[in-house]
Amino acid sequence: MQTLEPTVRLFFIMEEVVEILSKERILVLMGGTSAEREVSLRSGKAVLSALLTLGYPAYALDYNHSAIDQILIDKPDLVFLALHGQNGEDGTVQGLLDSLDIAYTGSGLTSSVLCMDKVLSKKLFKYEGIPTAGYKILKKKDLIDSDAIHTLKEEIGLPMVIKAATQGSSIGTYIVRNEEDILSAINNAFLYSHEVLAEEFIDGKELTVALLGNEQPEVLPIIEITSQNEFYDYESKYTQGMFEHIIPARIDRISEENIINISKQVYELMNCKGFARIDFMLDKNGYPYVLEVNTIPGMTELSLVPDAARAAGMSFEELVERIVRLALKK
C-alpha cells in the first residue's frame, strides 16, 4: 500500500486541478466612481473571498477606464458586479458587457436603468397600480417660482421626503419636517442628480424583501429595519450598532402575504434577474408602499441580502454560488 501512496496523492491533486480548471473564470468588478465607492469595495472583497473559497479562479478589478481594457484582454467567463450607484448599477456597465458578449450577474441594461432612476420607477409603479407614496418630480427650473415651495408643501404635505433621483444607499435623501427646510434639502439633492423626487412621508415600519431567481424568484424572509438615526440613512446602513435587522419582521400574516405578492409582481414588472432587493414602508394601518428596487444590493458583512439568506438557511458562499449559477442561466 505504501508504494501506492504517491500515486493516490497525485490522483487527488489532479482531481482538484481538473475541478478548478472546469470552473468559470470570474471577474469581480468593484469600486468605481460613484458616491458608493467604499461600500462597493467592501461588497467586492466579500464576494471575491467567497468565490475563492468555492474554488473559482476569481480575481477583482477596480472599475475604471483601464479596467475596461483589462476586461477586453481577459475575456472572463462571468463578471460578478459588485458596483453600487451611478456608472455601475444604472445600466452603464451592463450595456458595455452586453456589447462585449460577456455574461454578468444581476439584471440587464433596461431593468438596471428603470430601477436606478427613482422617477422612472415611480411612473411605472403608478401606471401598473403598484402601491407607492404620492410624489412630485422636481427640476431646477421649477424653483424659479417664488411660490413653488409653498405649493409643494400643500401638494405633498409635511413631513415630506426629498430624494435625489439616481442615487442609492440613501445618498441625497432627506426627511423635511418644516417648510423653511424644504429648499435647502432640494438644493442638496440636486448636487447628486438632475431630477429630485418630493415624496409623501409614510409613518410606519421600514421593510425590505430580497428575491433570488430569474423567471420564478424565491422570496427570502422579510426583514424589518430599525435605525438609531431618523431613518435608515447611509451612516445607519454601514455602521455596526446603528441599525437592527429584525427577522422575521414583526408584521401580521396578511401583511406578509401581501408584501410577498407585491414583491414578485414588482420583480417581474421591472424584469429583474438573479437577485434584487425591494424596499417597502408599511403604514400603521397595515398598507404597504413600494419605495424602490435595488438591482445590485450590498454584499457586505452588514448588508440585508446576506442576512435574509442566512435566515433562509443559506451561507454567504451558498448565496454567491446561487447568484453565479443564475447569471450563467440568464
Q: List the binding residues.
A: 279, 292, 294
Annotation: binding site for Mg(2+): 279, 292, 294
Q: Collapsing DSSP states into helix, strand and coil, what is residue 109?
A: helix
- Does the active-site annotation cover 303? yes
Active site residue: 34, 40, 169, 170, which one?
Answer: 169
Rounded distance between C-alpha atoms, residue 309 and residue 312, angstroms? 5
Q: E strands of the chain, at which residues?
A: 26-30, 58-62, 78-81, 103-104, 135-138, 160-164, 173-176, 196-200, 204-213, 218-219, 223-227, 243-246, 274-283, 288-294
Phi, psi of 277 (to 5 degrees): -130, 130
Catalytic entry in 36, 195, 224, 256 = 36
Q: Is 40 labeled as catalytic in the residue annotation? A: no
81 vs 98: CA distance, rounded Å:
13
13: left (phi over 0), alpha (psi -120 to 50) or beta: alpha
> Is 169 among the catalytic positions?
yes
Selecting among 111, 121, 263, 303, the annotated active-site residue is 303
In whole angstroms, give the CA distance from residue 76 to residue 28.
10
**Known catalytic residues?**
36, 169, 303
